[in-house]
Chains A and B, each alone.
Chain A
Amino acid sequence: MSSFQIISIAGLLYILAMPLYIVYVLTKNKNLGYVSTVTLSAGALIHIFGFIQRFKEMYEINHSFMRSIPITNLYESLVFFALCIVIGYLFIEWKYKNKSFGVFVSALAGITIGLTDVLGITKEVQPLVPALKSNWLLAHVTLSFIAYAAFAISFITGVLHIIVTADSKKSFKYIFSTAILALMFFVFLSLIIDMATASNPKTVKIFHSTLANPSIVISIISWLFLFALIFVFWKWGNVLSKLLQALKIDENLLEDITYKAIAFGFPIFTIGGLVFGAIWADQAWGRYWGWDPKETWSLITWFVYAFYLHAKFLRGWTGAKLSFIAVVGFIVTIFTYLGVNLFLSGLHSYGSM
């Protein structure tokens, strides 16, 4: 069996874990909680197995351990990202003995893997292009994605934290967090339609089928749909908020996990993303820093999380105000990861479809 089939099975288990976590959260049946954790863990184990399998497939082509880490194109990076999130979450679940946001993590991981199936991203094991042939590949790419996953977890808990602490529908916190969720949902939908309608899978332009459609009518309808979506999320978002409150998710716990994930991700990102990236660039391109869009956006990501840490420790910021920065930080992270490749051209164009 090929690695991508194994990984698809893992994705199915993640999607299966999602309703289990929902029912657990609603009924608080301990056995059900146990089953959902087992399902998610089984998914993670199969996922790891698939990852190792792909490693072997890569090794057969590249014959070098350091250069066979399967994180060299969009598909592999998404798969690794999902794996990191799930493992990170399982660790937190075990450490804090709290399963309250498992549903969001299993959904995110399942959708990420499902996305690779729906979008028809190439899953073939590809030989390395010369630019990626370096022993820095392993360290730079692996650590970057571990950091992205940590930031993703901080984003989930950050958004939940803002929703939990929002007191009324008119408060800025509430509008902001529901709008962000609606926007992300819209981008997700748009991406699928863009991929499905693109004549050539290599030249997908995001929003080309929706907001930026050449036909004015479709463009206007898309904009209206976006606003409608934001309204729907705004209108019904308090269901989620009430649910979370009914569950008595401790807001301090959410804030603490948000901080922990960033405190873990930030140094990893600095060393793996920026420092190792700079060393590699120094060896491959003859400069350690060149204001390439990917580099620039990594620096911006770094600044946002530096802002978070300074605001927390030196200005004493707490609560939703601080979680905003975590949310913004992850939006910038996504842009660094995907947006730069989709919108801006530069040297880091390996991650293309």
Chain B
Amino acid sequence: MSKLEKWNDKIWNFFASVDLAIALFIVISVAASIGTVIPQQPEPEATIRFFAKFFTIDTAHKLYEIVSLFDLNNVYHSWWFTFLLFMFALNLIVFSLDRLPHLLKSFKTPPQSIPNQVLEKMPIKKELKIKDGSAVLDKVIEILKKQGFRTHSFQTNEGFQLLCKKWSKTRLAVYLTHLSILIILTGALIGTFFGFRGFMNIVEGTSADFVISDQRKSIPLGFQVACDKFEVEYYENSAVPKAYRSYIRIIENGQPVKFNGKETVIIEVNQPFSYKGITFYQASYGFQPTENAEFRFTFIDKNGKETQLKARFEEKFKIPGTSVIASVEDFSPALGIDEQGRLFNMTTEMINPAVLVVFEDGEKKTEQWILKRIPETWDTPYGKLKFNELWGAHFTGLQVRKDPGVPLIYVGSILMCIGLFICLFLRPITYFVTIDKDKVTFYCPSSKGKFVSEKQLDEIINKIKGEKA
């Protein structure tokens, strides 16, 4: 063998080894855990602040140098972590190429009988005394077949030898599992190169046609996304949010796009929406009052007639059927009443939005707080004024993603589940049985799952005894 071939072999064996796999399990685990402890933020301040909790500020600065040298504040996207994952993939490929042909070959080679000395060395051995060896053979084969074994019988000097196998093809499942990991890694690679992830904030009543990517770049979508409305729904009598909801329209080439005959689509948490391979997810929202924000009311007069009213901040509007002029003079997103009966603002979340409405009836001027979620406050001397919403003051935060690798991820995941279940629940079982004149002996070549193997052999032996009796 030439030197080159020798080296070739060495390298091949290195990448085909289980030791490398085990080493990679440990190294990748340690690397990944570092990333959960050190803040994964590009700004040096975050890292220094983190270390300053444990060390002096000087040491923290020095540690930051090390962190930035090895990209420890961006572990999962660093060159060395990518390299580790690449090694992992290479290990899987070479390992499979190294072993799979042998396995496939072993399925094809006809089984052969094994000398008794080898059998005697096997870790599990069970004996059953019988009277007439030749008569038992068929019964043993029949019982084993009933248990799902495939049997091969050989004539030997001492009598008969049986090779029984069950689920031997399940050895292939390991390779299916390994293949599935490669498929998942490929899917991830495709996603990194051909996809993007980003964010868009759209204020109610406006639209946008680009996404800010996670790398702070602007990516044009090729169509407009308009947000007609955003709402937060709360559980009754509680400040626990029940649902976040955006009402979205897609406008392409100036024309609204229809989905199932409707223009408006609703995006909620856990209910994303996809268009042209780009998926939009409800991710966040915020309060951002704009000039266009308007207060929307339903006025119910004394005869029960309903009128929709809307007005901007401090804009005067007429109460229908009366000479009263009203205007919104104050707003609170979450008005609460404290123990002394005073009003106060709880949070900036719109848990219970309220407006202070001033009514001018000629000379008479009255003012009243109207709370969205408390119907008693809707009653005014002129009729019921129900406060519906402050529209145009929210923006919806949408997570936007395009990832052509996702189908591969799904395929890989399914294959992995199938592979793992087969490999761990349907383990191949092999027994050797020798039948002499006066005894049947069972051998099991593997001590794995010894307890179960022994139990199963006892069961088979009992059956043979039973058949005899």
Which residues of A pack against B, CB within 8 Å?
96, 126-127, 129-131, 133-134, 252-253, 256, 259-260, 263-264, 266-267, 270-271, 275, 278-279, 282-289, 291, 293, 296-297, 299-300, 303-304, 306-307, 309-315, 318, 340, 344
Contacts and interface: CB of A to CB of B under 8 A. Distances in A.
Interface string B258-272: 000000000011101
B269 A131 contact: yes
Given A271-B417, A299-B32, A285 B399 contact: yes
Given A127-B240, A288-B406, A315-B22, A296 B279 contact: no
Interface string B234-257: 010010111110000000000000
B413 interface: yes
Interface in B361-418: 399-401, 403, 406, 409-410, 413, 416-417
A270 B417 contact: yes
A267 B417 contact: yes
A313 B448 CA distance: 9
A256 B29 contact: no
B32 A266 contact: no
B413 A307 contact: no
Nearest to B270: A134
A282 B281 CA distance: 10
B197 interface: yes
Nearest to A301: B29
30 contacts: A127-B238, A129-B240, A130-B241, A130-B244, A130-B268, A131-B270, A134-B270, A260-B449, A263-B424, A263-B425, A271-B417, A275-B413, A284-B270, A285-B399, A286-B197, A286-B272, A286-B281, A286-B283, A287-B197, A287-B401, A288-B406, A291-B40, A303-B29, A310-B18, A310-B21, A310-B25, A311-B22, A312-B448, A340-B36, A344-B36
B18 A315 contact: yes
B315 to A, nearest CB: 34
B244 A286 contact: no
Contact of B400 (A96, A263, A267, A286): A286
B28 to A, nearest CB: 6
Given A130-B244, A314-B18, A259 B76 contact: no
**Interface SS of chain B:** helix
B33 interface: yes
B1 interface: no
* B contact residues, range: 35 or more
Interface of B: 18-19, 21-22, 25-26, 28-29, 32-33, 35-37, 40, 75-76, 188, 197, 235, 238, 240-244, 268-270, 272, 279, 281, 283, 399-401, 403, 406, 409-410, 413, 416-417, 420-421, 424-425, 447-452
A280 B272 CA distance: 11
A300 B279 contact: no
A278 B409 contact: yes
Contacts of A96: 451
A289 B270 CA distance: 16
A4 to B, nearest CB: 20
Nearest to A293: B36
B269 A133 contact: yes
A127 to B, nearest CB: 5
Contact of B413 (A256, A266, A279, A284): A279
B22 A300 contact: no
A73 B400 CA distance: 29
Contact of A285 (B75, B235, B281): B281
A284 B268 CA distance: 9
Given A130-B269, A256-B452, A283-B272, A300 B29 contact: yes
Contacts of A296: 32-33, 35-36
B451 A252 contact: yes
A303 B25 contact: yes
Contacts of B451: 96, 252-253, 256
B406 A129 contact: no
A259 B242 CA distance: 43
6 smallest beta-carbon distances between A and B, as pairs: A286-B281, A267-B420, A130-B269, A286-B399, A293-B36, A134-B270
A300 B406 contact: no
A160 to B, nearest CB: 15
B235 A127 contact: yes
Nearest to A317: B22
B243 to A, nearest CB: 5
Given A296-B33, A303-B25, A267 B421 contact: yes
Given A133-B243, A291-B76, 5 more contacts: A129-B240, A252-B451, A284-B272, A285-B399, A297-B36
A278 B413 contact: yes
A282 B270 CA distance: 9
Contacts of B18: 310, 314-315
Contacts of A314: 18
Contacts of A311: 22
A305 B413 CA distance: 18
Nearest to A288: B409
B160 to A, nearest CB: 31
Contacts of A287: 197, 401, 403
Nearest to B272: A283
Contacts of B21: 310
B285 to A, nearest CB: 11
A133 B270 contact: yes
B35 A291 contact: yes
A252 B447 CA distance: 10
Given A130-B243, A267-B417, A285-B283, A304 B25 contact: yes
A348 to B, nearest CB: 12
A256 B452 CA distance: 9
Contacts of B33: 296-297, 300
B37 A344 contact: yes
Given A130-B241, A286-B281, A300-B32, A279 B410 contact: yes
A299 B26 CA distance: 12
A256 B450 contact: yes
B77 to A, nearest CB: 9
A158 B399 CA distance: 45
Contacts of B448: 259, 312-313
A333 B450 CA distance: 27
A307 B22 contact: yes
B29 A267 contact: no
A22 to B, nearest CB: 25
A178 to B, nearest CB: 24
Contacts of A131: 269-270
Contacts of B28: 303
B456 to A, nearest CB: 13
Contacts of B410: 279
Contact of A266 (B25, B235, B240, B424): B424
A311 B22 CA distance: 8
Contact of B281 (A133, A284, A307): A284
Nearest to A294: B36
Contacts of B413: 275, 278-279
Contacts of A270: 416-417, 420
